[in-house]
């Protein structure tokens, strides 16, 4: 499998991308990486990598990058050879089986949607983010791509997310919930009230309405909502995790020596907790519904996050997620 990595756009620098790709290559012998970016910056760093892994790296030149502060649509049009566009084009041309970008997420969505196109039958591609839950992970879809959507879009999100959770995460018959303000069928806004009967009839393992707390207590494996709500949930969860970590450190700093000793003895437990709530192990969020594998990683992606983003893209490509989605929507259309 060949995965194209936009190696220029992480805010932590090109070095993190290079370290991440070599870590991914070392972990997965079936992987090849197309490193997309400026040869003057990438080649010297790649040449310092493990000699045994270098044959599995191909450098693909990209003359431009799109910055985090640039307007996505305008930048995509003005910079045709931007690294994110080159990465997506490699997938379109069949030279790569998937692509990753940690850069401007709006530019990533624009490049992937316009260059790869949509899976037939999909109206709006959406971003799936994995959140830690009591039973492993809970998928949140959409987490920022579609801020305004129709009730039938939520059904498509549920179909796409279910396939991803089953084929990539490994959850058989994932339990799907509709994110709302209460479990009762009559609670919600106009969008969720109209979507509820559609989801009940969609042939999924649908639980009904779920609330925000259900994302983390293990009640459901996938929660669907529009991107406006999903992005707020995602950013709130990130902020809460950071606040709790900082507050815990502050409490240990000001309490007595016995408490500090307890903290030292609990370091392994705290380290495990930090890993569970960290986005590093998640790697990136797939843009589901585009006709190719495209994973959006965090703007401050470090080497561990990029290593895991390559794993996600590799698994999506190996499982042919876009192809399976196309087959699912074709079947649903024929049955309608």
**Mean pLDDT, range 303-324, rounded to an integer:** 92
The listed range with the strongest mean pLDDT (125-134, 235-244, 270-279) is 125-134
pLDDT digits (tens, 9 = 90+) for 204-240: 999 999 999 899 898 999 999 999 999 999 888 888 8
CB of 313 closer than 8 Å to CB of 99: yes
Please, which pLDDT band fits residue 329 given cuts at 50, 70 and 90? confident
Domains of the chain: 1-122+289-320 (3.40.718.10), 124-282 (3.40.718.10)
**Mean pLDDT, range 41-52, rounded to an integer:** 93
Among residues 223, 207, 208, the alpha carbon closest in space to that of 126 is found at 223
N-terminal to C-terminal alpha carbon distance within the chain:
36
The pLDDT > 70 percentage for the chain reads 89
Please, which pLDDT band fits residue 273 given cuts at 50, 70 and 90? very low
pLDDT digits (tens, 9 = 90+) for 76-118: 999 999 999 999 999 999 999 999 999 898 999 999 999 999 9
Please, which pLDDT band fits residue 301 given cuts at 50, 70 and 90? confident
More confident residue, 171 or 331: 171
Helix (H, G, I), strand (E, B) or coil at 287: strand
Q: Is the pLDDT of residue 189 over 70?
A: yes
Whole-angstrom CA distances from 112 to 88, 89, 117, 165 are 6, 9, 7, 21
CB of 154 closer than 8 Å to CB of 146: no
pLDDT digits (tens, 9 = 90+) for 171-183: 999 999 999 999 9
**Mean pLDDT, range 50-59, rounded to an integer:** 95
Looking at residue 198, its pLDDT comes to 95
């Amino acid at each position: 499998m060949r995965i194209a990595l936009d190696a220029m756009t992480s805010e932590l620098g090109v070095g993190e991308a290079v370290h991440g790709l070599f870590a991914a290559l070392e972990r997965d012998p079936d992987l090849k990486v197309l490193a997309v970016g400026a040869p003057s910056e990438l080649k010297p760093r790649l040449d310092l990598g493990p000699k045994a892994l270098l044959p599995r790296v191909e450098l693909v030149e990209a003359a431009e990058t799109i910055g985090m502060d640039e307007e996505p649509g305008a930048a995509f049009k003005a910079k045709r050879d931007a690294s994110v566009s080159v990465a997506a084009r490699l997938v379109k041309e069949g030279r790569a089986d998937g692509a990753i970008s940690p850069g401007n997420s709006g530019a990533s969505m624009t490049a992937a949607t316009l260059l790869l196109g949509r899976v037939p039958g999909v109206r709006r591609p959406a971003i799936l983010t994995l959140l830690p839950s009591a039973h492993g992970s809970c998928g949140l879809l959409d987490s920022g791509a579609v801020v305004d959507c129709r009730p039938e879009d939520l059904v498509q999100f549920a179909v796409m997310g279910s396939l991803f959770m089953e084929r990539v995460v490994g959850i058989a018959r994932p339990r799907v919930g509709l994110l709302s303000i209460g479990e009762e069928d009559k609670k919600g806004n106009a969008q969720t009230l109209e979507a509820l009967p559609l989801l009940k009839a969609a042939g999924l393992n649908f639980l009904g309405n779920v609330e925000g707390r259900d994302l983390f207590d293990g009640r459901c494996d996938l929660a669907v909502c529009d991107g406006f709500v999903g992005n707020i949930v995602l950013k709130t969860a990130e902020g809460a995790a950071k606040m709790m970590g900082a507050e815990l450190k502050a409490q240990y700093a000001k309490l007595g020596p016995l408490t500090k000793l307890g903290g030292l003895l609990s370091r392994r437990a705290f380290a495990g907790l930090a890993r569970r709530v960290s986005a590093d192990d998640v790697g990136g969020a797939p843009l589901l519904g585009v006709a190719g594998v495209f994973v959006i990683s965090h703007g401050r992606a470090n080497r561990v996050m990029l290593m895991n983003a390559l794993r996600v893209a590799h698994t999506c490509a190996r499982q042919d997620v876009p192809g399976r989605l196309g087959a699912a929507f074709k079947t649903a259309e024929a049955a309608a």
